[in-house]
A and B are shown apart, each in its own frame.
Chain A
Amino acid sequence: MFPKKIRPMKITTWFKSLFEVWRREFRLVFTDAGVMLFFFALPLVYPLVYTIIYNPEIVTDIPIVVVDHARTSDSRQLARMFDDTQSIKVASYAADLEEARRAMREKKCYGILEIPSDYSKRLGNGDQAVVAFYDEMSLLLRYRAFMSAMTDIQLELGQQITMQRVSTGGLLTSDLAANGMPVKNEAFFLGDPTQGFASFIMPGIVVLILQQSMILGIAMLAGNAAERRRRNRGYDPLAVDASPVVTVLGRTLCYVIIYLPMSYYILTMVPAIFALPHVGSAADYMPFIFAMLVASAMLGQSIAVFITERETSMLVIVFTSVFFLFLSGLTWPRYAMNPFWTAVADCIPATWGVEGIIRILANGADISEVSRYYVNEWILAAIYFVTAVILARFLSPRLAKTTPPAKNA
């Protein structure tokens, strides 16, 4: 891998040029407002903005309209039970379905409960009563809230009425009447016990923010270098003359050093500010995120070779964030992807980053439990290191060939 030139090079010289690349890159970052915006403002501000949007966490008091054809105390009790749930609020009653539908069209309600006229009669007869619920399906979260409210009501009502029937009917038996149902069931929610939306989406999103902002910044730096070369007939006065290996490593060092504090802020302070799930320990998520940062830096440098203009970087990288979000499996689980997209997703550092970090932060996994993601992260880092070096060697103009080693910055 090493170019012939540096083979006789002493190890001290090697480190010296590494340090030189690192120092120069640092200066390039801190003298460019555009890059600073990506490296600092984006990771600092975006997590806050996103969390503020989603911070109300759960959907409550969704207005529904009740069409009560029965108008009995039983049917009113049913409507009250809907109103009592956390997610539903009975906004008003309607005389018929048409009126209710009109309210839905005007967005005054998102669900309609229709109670048939024989509701109480059937209950009294010991038959099964069927009520209808119409959901407006524009938002998944609303539908989900309706569904869980409905299941709960059905169960609760079932137990109440059964109990009543069993005891009043004298059907039997001490057991059922006294103890209720012979089997209980209990649901436990792991990771995000409140089932809040911010708590679900934020631990994953922040990982994507880290990767994307870093790649954007790296691409912009590369665009700058390309523009400098165009202005100086193929020679970049601000580049350090070093082998591709040293250049890639030195730059990676620079980016990772900048991003480690950013990651600490994003993974420790932001969850603390908004009380997001945070049961993992820094000893687990910091090494993990370190691997992802290295892989992202290498990926960024592999892409950066193709950037020829400062601003096109934004054009071609920004929209990929949406793809990467979906490929990471946060919105659409990985097991349901076809092999092609799984393979594409496997090549993106943020995929493993999201998988690992959410399990460390929300499920309290330690790094050994997410070791397969951690190992994949390092494999990606190694692959992109090789591609970055090869691309830098063969695609970008070699400085030393065209110009004398320049020390004038």
Chain B
Amino acid sequence: MIGASLRRGIKTLASRKIYIVMMVIVPLVSAFFFLNLMNEGLPLKVPSGMVDLDRSSMSRSVARNLRATELIEISGEYDNFNDALDKVRGGEIFGFFYIPRDFQKDALAGRTPTLSYYSNMTVFVPGTLSFKGFKTIAVTTMGGVVKTTLVSAGIGDDTAGSLLQPVVVQDHPMGNPWTNYSIYLSNSFIPCTLALLVMLVTAFSICHEIKTGSSVQWVATAGGRMWIALIGKLLPQTAVFSAVGIAMQGILYGFLHFPLNNHPMHIITAMILLVIACQAFAVGVCEIVPNLRLSLSICSLTGILSFSIAAFSFPVPQMYGAVGIFSYIVPIRYYFLIYIDQALNGIPIYFSRYYYAALLGFLLLPAVGLNRLKRHALNPVYVP
């Protein structure tokens, strides 16, 4: 019985190109896409501008420092504030540094001139990086001026240094000391794309049988037992998706050496459980709406929303409570939490126990509506 069902499941997979495309090609291409796109890790050299109205030796030294920073690249010098702002609006630069007229004179005379810098936060990452670059230069310049004043007043160089920065906060970014953006984004977006595809393919393969009416034969092959029919259909897909998922992890952690600070089996298990949980989720959807278009719509909707609601960028505790709880209805959220614990931070698996359990818990979902799905599979009515 189960053998015949499995054979039928494998045959279906081989029958149409779309399965190969959606299960193997698209996931691997998407992994390549993300990793190749963000190959650099950090989008350094933010195109920026500067406006130097002072044109003194001091302002030129600021300009030299600006050019030497890796965070920004001065791609244009402008004669006035408005020109620079126009370039920001036009998208050519992401920010600019502004040195006012008589800067050097005022600084040395103690008239406290102001260095200002403008970052376009409309685009988050370049905006933030240019801000960081500008701020570093502004602070260094400030320090340089103070130091000159102090030293000229007869204080030793060393003393002047500790006078300037009496407290240093040493930053230790744990697990990602390079602050590599690809580590943030690839580790979440690649598995989430896979999760989306698993849900779509699962819903498609089940409801397509109902649409074409072949579902009667599908259930019959399993001897009328719905769960055998489902296993026969989905187990081959589980195998393919898991293999693809593990291949992705192989690229991430093996080939590109992204942080994997615990035993690889921990994250591999999580991947297999993610695939199964997503399949169970999609089966649950099909049981509620055994209609090809609607179930695909719901799976697309949740799959796409997962990228936001699973909180890869905006933390759940900051979301509105009523919104944040939805984070926990999508399987990828638990995979993401396991990834943080097991791969990035490498803490004992004990701390991730609930996340593994939750992924397993999704398996209970299909049990609820098995009979309903069977009823629809045996009386297939196609509603467009």
The answer to whether A and B belong to the same complex is yes
Measured CB to CB, the residues of A under 8 A from B are 32, 34, 37, 49-50, 52-56, 58-60, 62, 78, 105-106, 123, 126-144, 146-147, 150-151, 153-155, 157-158, 161-162, 165-166, 171-173, 175-176, 179-193, 195, 197, 200-201, 203, 224, 277, 310-312, 314-316, 318-319, 321-323, 326-327, 329-333, 335-338, 341, 355, 358-359, 362-365, 369-370, 372-373
Chain B contact residues (Cβ within 8 angstroms of A): what range?
A: 35 or more
Also in contact, A105 and B351, with CB within 8 A (given A142-B315, A200-B122, A332-B181):
yes
Taking a contact as CB atoms closer than 8 A, the residue among A55, A154, A184, A338 that contacts B39 in the complex is A338
> Contact: A53 with B45, CB < 8 Å?
no
Q: How far is the CB of B84 from chain A (nearest CB, A)?
A: 11
Taking a contact as CB atoms closer than 8 A, the residue among B89, B320, B340 that contacts A359 in the complex is B89
> Contact: A365 with B149, CB < 8 Å?
no
Please, which residue of chain B has its CB at the minimum distance from the CB of A52? B323
Also in contact, A315 and B296, with CB within 8 A (given A105-B347, A138-B340):
yes
Taking a contact as CB atoms closer than 8 A, the residue among B121, B297, B315 that contacts A192 in the complex is B121
Beyond known contacts A133-B171, A321-B304: 10 more, CB 8 A cutoff: A131-B168, A147-B171, A151-B135, A176-B149, A184-B115, A188-B117, A319-B200, A326-B33, A355-B91, A359-B122
Residues of chain B lying within 8 A (CB to CB) of residue A322:
30, 189, 192-193, 196, 304, 307
Q: How far is the CB of B315 from chain A (nearest CB, A)?
A: 6
Measured CB to CB, the residues of B under 8 A from A are 18, 21-22, 26, 30, 33-34, 36-40, 43-47, 85-86, 88-91, 94-95, 107-108, 110, 112-128, 131-132, 134-135, 138-139, 141-142, 145-146, 149-150, 153, 155, 159, 161-176, 179, 181, 184-185, 189, 192-193, 196-197, 200-201, 204, 208, 211, 292-293, 296-297, 300, 303-305, 307-309, 311-315, 318-320, 323, 340-341, 344-345, 347-348, 351, 384
Give the 9 A-B residue pairs with the shortest CB-CB distance, closest first: A191-B122, A336-B43, A185-B138, A365-B89, A192-B121, A362-B122, A137-B176, A161-B166, A138-B340
Separation of A370 and B122 alpha carbons in the complex (Å): 14
> Contact: A162 with B166, CB < 8 Å?
yes
Separation of A336 and B39 alpha carbons in the complex (Å): 9
> Contact: A318 with B196, CB < 8 Å?
yes
Please, which residue of chain B has its CB at the minimum distance from the CB of A56? B318
Also in contact, A188 and B119, with CB within 8 A (given A53-B319, A132-B170, A158-B165):
yes
Residues of chain A lying within 8 A (CB to CB) of residue B204:
311, 315
> Contact: A363 with B116, CB < 8 Å?
no
Residues of chain B lying within 8 A (CB to CB) of residue A362:
122
30 contacts between A and B (CB under 8 A): A59-B314, A105-B345, A106-B351, A128-B168, A131-B170, A135-B171, A137-B344, A150-B169, A150-B171, A173-B153, A179-B112, A182-B112, A183-B114, A185-B117, A187-B134, A189-B127, A190-B121, A191-B120, A310-B293, A310-B384, A318-B300, A319-B193, A322-B307, A326-B189, A331-B185, A332-B181, A336-B43, A337-B37, A363-B88, A363-B89
Also in contact, A56 and B320, with CB within 8 A (given A165-B163, A187-B135, A362-B122):
yes
Also in contact, A185 and B139, with CB within 8 A (given A105-B351, A195-B121, A332-B43):
yes
> Contact: A56 with B313, CB < 8 Å?
no
> Contact: A157 with B166, CB < 8 Å?
yes
**Which of A123, A173, A182, A373 has most B Cβ within 10 Å?**
A182
Taking a contact as CB atoms closer than 8 A, the residue among A49, A55, A146, A358 that contacts B123 in the complex is A358
Separation of A150 and B172 alpha carbons in the complex (Å): 12
> Contact: A141 with B313, CB < 8 Å?
yes
> Contact: B89 with A364, CB < 8 Å?
yes
- If over half of B's interface residues share one DSSP class (helix, strand or loop), that class is named, otherwise mixed; here it is helix
> Contact: B122 with A358, CB < 8 Å?
yes
Q: How far is the CB of B94 from chain A (nearest CB, A)?
A: 8
Separation of A357 and B21 alpha carbons in the complex (Å): 34
> Contact: A319 with B26, CB < 8 Å?
yes
> Contact: B125 with A332, CB < 8 Å?
yes
> Contact: A130 with B168, CB < 8 Å?
yes
Separation of A127 and B162 alpha carbons in the complex (Å): 6
Please, which residue of chain B has its CB at the minimum distance from the CB of A355? B91
Separation of A176 and B164 alpha carbons in the complex (Å): 12
> Contact: A128 with B166, CB < 8 Å?
yes
> Contact: A171 with B167, CB < 8 Å?
no
Also in contact, A315 and B169, with CB within 8 A (given A184-B112, A364-B89, A369-B86):
no
**Which of B26, B161, B314 has most A Cβ within 10 Å?**
B314
**Which of B120, B166, B309, B323 has most A Cβ within 10 Å?**
B166
Taking a contact as CB atoms closer than 8 A, the residue among A175, A332, A370 that contacts B38 in the complex is A332
Residues of chain B lying within 8 A (CB to CB) of residue A171:
150, 153, 155
**Which of A58, A134, A139, A141 has most B Cβ within 10 Å?**
A139
Separation of A151 and B170 alpha carbons in the complex (Å): 10
> Contact: A200 with B124, CB < 8 Å?
yes
Separation of A184 and B116 alpha carbons in the complex (Å): 8
Residues of chain B lying within 8 A (CB to CB) of residue A331:
124-125, 185
Residues of chain B lying within 8 A (CB to CB) of residue A60:
318
Please, which residue of chain B has its CB at the minimum distance from the CB of A38? B297
Please, which residue of chain B has its CB at the minimum distance from the CB of A101? B347
**Which of B110, B211, B348 has most A Cβ within 10 Å?**
B110
Also in contact, A184 and B307, with CB within 8 A (given A136-B345, A190-B118):
no
Taking a contact as CB atoms closer than 8 A, the residue among A50, A137, A141, A197 that contacts B173 in the complex is A137
Residues of chain A lying within 8 A (CB to CB) of residue B128:
144
> Contact: B304 with A318, CB < 8 Å?
yes
Separation of A310 and B204 alpha carbons in the complex (Å): 12
